[in-house]
Amino acid sequence: MEQIIVDGKERTDRGKNAARRMRVGGEVPAVLYGGKGGPVALTVNTKQFSALLRSESGQNTVFQVRMPGGDQPAMVKDWQVDPVKGVLLHVDMLRVAMDVRIRVRVPVHTFGEAQGVKLQGGVFETVTRDVEIECLPSEIPGEFRVDITEFMIGKQLRAGDLPLDAEKMKLVTDPQRVIAHVVALRVEEEKPAEAVAAEAAVPAEPEVIKKGKKDEEGEVGAEAEEKPEKPKK
């Protein structure tokens, strides 16, 4: 495996202005944590670190931080990106011991067209996109790939089905966790023709018309008009 180097320099300047000058100069503020040493404030080469994040193994890449005191193996712990400009703002790195197992999350990718979709009209659904494993830093897989061509409706891919090398890695995720499956297409059940006809035959309830104040006044006025006037004495 090709060794990846990221140039790092210790930094003493702090604050937004100092960080801005670093980014303009092609570097990004960083902190190296973990291991026997305490946290160290650094700057790392922006291009090198961006290429590392875009690599096939991405965040799970084990790389060497090149420092004046000697190279140190590390992994990416976290990073911040400007949401507008898309440039790196800050990086957190974690020291790793190459002879000590660590826990990492590895993506699961499926390929092929499931027969349950092609022949039975089902739907292929991805439920979980990664699993957690435990292994040595040098043995972290870039991904797990599974062929789902033979999957029919009802077939499930579980974490325990993934092609792990039991001698090199241990599955931490529950083996029964569903990664993906093929399910039947959900169709809303249509009502029988007899039920539809019965609903149509039910007469609508008569509309109740409430008398309003004006209607009542109108009726009183009508009665007054019909009542003959009394003759004058």
**Quick check: is 189 in a domain?**
no
**Quick check: is 205 in a domain?**
no
Give how many domains the chain has, as a whole number. Answer: 2
Give the CA angle between residues 137, 6, 74 to the nearest 5°: 25
**Quick check: is 45 in a domain?**
yes
- Show which of 95, 110, 125 is a domain's final residue: 95
Per-residue confidence (pLDDT) for residue 224, from 0 to 100? 46
Report residue 217's pLDDT band, with 50, 70 and 90 as the boundaries: very low
- Domain co-membership, 11 together with 89: yes
Report residue 220's pLDDT band, with 50, 70 and 90 as the boundaries: very low
Return the exposure string of 145-162: e unless at least 16 CB atoms fall within 10 Å of the residue's CB, then b. ebebeebebebebbbeeb
| 216 has a pLDDT exceeding 60 | no
Per-residue confidence (pLDDT) for residue 200, from 0 to 100? 57
- Domain co-membership, 107 together with 152: yes
Asked if 110 and 103 touch (Cβ cutoff 8 Å), the reply is: no
pTM of the model: 0.67
Maximum distance among all alpha carbons in the chain?
Answer: 132
Asked if 4 and 15 touch (Cβ cutoff 8 Å), the reply is: no
- Domain co-membership, 86 together with 53: yes
CATH number where 68 lies: 2.40.240.10
C-alpha–C-alpha distance, residues 104 and 131, integer Å? 8
* Higher pLDDT, residue 203 or 62: 62
**Quick check: is 195 in a domain?**
no
- Domain co-membership, 107 together with 55: no
What percent of the chain clears pLDDT 70, i.e. is strictly above it?
79
How many residues make up the chain in this entry? 233
37-41, 133-137, 141-145, 193-197: the lowest-pLDDT one: 193-197
C-alpha–C-alpha distance, residues 134 and 60, integer Å? 12
| 233 has a pLDDT exceeding 70 | no
**Quick check: is 225 in a domain?**
no
CATH number where 155 lies: 2.170.120.20
Q: What confidence tens digit (pLDDT) does each residue in 121-154 have?
A: 999 999 999 999 999 998 999 899 999 999 999 9
